[in-house]
Chains A and B, each alone.
Chain A
Amino acid sequence: DAKTTQPNSMESNEEEPVHLPCNHSTISGTDYIHWYRQLPSQGPEYVIHGLTSNVNNRMASLAIAEDRKSSTLILHRATLRDAAVYYCIPIRGSTLGRLYFGRGTQLTVWP
């Protein structure tokens, strides 16, 4: 599976946009890019995923670079509840649910 590089930590103020980057330069053509997050004392939570095109859902937007070697998770207006560890996980199409979690990015949101 593709290796990922994410900043260890990022900070934002409440109601400001947040752009969380992820490098996945060894990604293969059939790997989907998934983002999960983990709030304190909770299990991981699915956020969004995509393959090539940018994606939007009620939680976030995902911008995928044209060469697919990087992606950015965008939280349009951060809230205190968005403080979590965010994981970028490339997933091969044939994977049977084996997600490889890295260290992720710890997002701190200031009121």
Chain B
Amino acid sequence: EPEVTQTPSHQVTQMGQEVILRCVPISNHLYFYWYRQILGQKVEFLVSFYNNEISEKSEIFDDQFSVERPDGSNFTLKIRSTKLEDSAMYFCASSENRLGGHSPLHFGNGTRLTVT
């Protein structure tokens, strides 16, 4: 069964550094998402992306964050200058269609980002 893959599985970085988290969504999917989960807390929506532009973003997704689909297969999340509070699991997801109830999200297994 096709799956969403994320790399790296664990990233350690120093405060203030830039990080890029990478994802390969399922090949025929058109909608892409990033979510995050701080340890012990809920899974939170960050951003959705379609047709090479952001469809929706949450209040968490400020100017320090950006997303890009640099080629036909990868989808990336960049954090420009990491803060300690950015430490979390970051999940990429994709869906075949616009989520109108009939298009479930498929999640990757996440990248654990640790900011020291």
Contact = CB atoms under 8 A, between A and B. Distances in A.
Consensus secondary structure, chain A interface: loop
A98 B45 contact: yes
Interface in B85-106: 91, 93, 95, 98-102, 104-106
Interface residues of A, number: 26
Given A43-B91, A44-B43, A93-B100, A99 B105 contact: yes
Interface residues of B, number: 28
Contact of B107 (A44, A51, A96): A44
A6 interface: no
B18 interface: no
Contacts of A45: 107
23 contacts: A31-B101, A42-B109, A43-B93, A43-B109, A43-B110, A44-B43, A44-B105, A44-B107, A46-B104, A46-B105, A46-B106, A49-B101, A49-B104, A96-B48, A96-B55, A96-B56, A97-B33, A97-B45, A97-B93, A98-B45, A98-B58, A99-B43, A103-B42
Interface of B: 4, 31, 33, 35, 42-45, 48, 50, 55-56, 58, 91, 93, 95, 98-102, 104-110
